[in-house]
Amino acid sequence: MAQHIRGPEGGDVLPVPGGESRGERPELRALTSLRFFAALAVVILHYRDLLGPMPDWLRQLVVGGQFGVTFFFVLSGFILTYRYREWFAGGVSEKRVWWFLRFRLARLYPVYLLGLLLDTPWHLLERASAGQLGEVAHTYWASWLLNAVGLQAWVPSVPFAMFWNTPAWSVAAEFFFYATFPWLCAVLVKPGRRVAWYLWAVPVAALMGTLLYTLVLYVMNYLWRVEAGTQYLVLTYNPLLRYSEFLAGCLAGHGFLLMQSGASRRGLPGLQTASGRNGLLGLCLLLIVARVMNTDYSGPSAAWWLFDVSTKHTSFILPFVGLILAVASGPTWLSPLLEHPRLVLLGEASYSLYIIHWSVVTVLSMRLLGDLGTPFVHAIGLLATVGASVLCYRFVEVPWRRRLRGHPPFVHPT
């Protein structure tokens, strides 16, 4: 008889086909709160030119907000594994894939579409005022449709990518990750694999991602001579190049579930003690800040430049995985903060914040406020966007998710 487990997003109770009794998996509330900080880092990054002059060190820290997306990709793989591992542990069926994709689209698409609709009028106004709308209208509408179906991350060209609701490119990448997850999960679940296998596979995934970046960089710079703008879009947006981040999260999720089940505790024994978790958490935060504050290489060595660019995103994989494992495994010195109900709510609304903030940034960047558009007013706009994200979460994201999800026959309510 199927056992029941609860997903970390506060949703359904899922059966473990043929599994042993494990009770209900607890919600990982501290990880939900971490999502807010990652989303806020991205938002502040996009506000950086609206907040007035900054010291060089602070601007460097703010620019590091771009790596909040890497955290989202790693966390996405971890949470999907935590929640859906048993759906595909015994293989992939068409029915389960359909319901999995339906669940994920119900989770993301309503707010995704809202963000696109909120941003559209301002871009049309901006292009119309510049006299560009009539002559290239067909291109803009084609790019709008491409964005609406979440394929813009695959096209390294403006206005298809880096236009309309620009941050939504990462959701387009997530759509690809979701499409591959059932098969990836089925491949990764093998009887007899220990925690250590999954945890050692994480740096291997990071290395594979780095090598792929290196290959693409070499081809674009030394064989094809691709222009800089296209290179940026490929290196930043292409889902295949970002896949190692998602894969590492999936591997960490499998290892974590084995540790939690008691099947094996040989992976990271320090996670079983508060001092071990605190030490790992502190080390990972230190590594993250140090990497963010390390400026891009601009010297004469082509080999060192190639290494620096190739590891721009993948160098964050290990510290982000360590951070997630430390926080998910038990109480840490950050737990009182991360488990506070208000911060958990902000974490739940972080996706809405990530999606809707760009329309506010667009309006403020167009200087429609005139002399009122001061850094102080812009900061108020940032805070107001955080508040609006909670309203969006409660009155758009949650209701529409419930309407669209449905109830699969193999998921049993408590």
Between CA 347 and CA 352, with CA 348 as vertex, the angle to 5 degrees is: 100
Given a cut of 90, whether residue 56 has pLDDT beyond it is yes
* Residue 272: per-residue pLDDT: 85
Given a cut of 50, whether residue 17 has pLDDT beyond it is no
Q: Which token pair is 96? A: 């389960």
CB-based contacts of 243: which residues, under 8 Å, 6+ apart?
Answer: 176, 177, 209
User: Stretch 390-414: mean pLDDT, rounded?
Assistant: 84
pLDDT 10s digits, 116-162: 999 999 888 877 776 666 666 778 889 999 999 999 999 999 888 88
d(CA 190, CA 218): 36
* Residue 134: per-residue pLDDT: 63
d(CA 195, CA 233): 36
User: Stretch 288-316: mean pLDDT, rounded?
Assistant: 93
How much is the pTM?
A: 0.91
- Output the CA–CA distances (angstroms, integers) from residue 403 to 106, 110, 301, 400, in the order listed: 8, 11, 56, 5
**Per-residue pLDDT band at 198 (split at 50, 70, 90):** very high
Q: What is the mean pLDDT of the chain?
A: 89
Please measure the distance between the N-terminal and C-terminal CA atoms of the chain and give it in whole angstroms.
15
Handedness of CA 209, 315, 329, 28 (dihedral sign): negative
Burial 28-64 (b: 16+ CB within 10 A, else e): bbbbbbbbbbbbbbbbbbbbeebbeeeeeeeeebbbb
Given a cut of 50, whether residue 9 has pLDDT beyond it is no
**Per-residue pLDDT band at 6 (split at 50, 70, 90):** very low
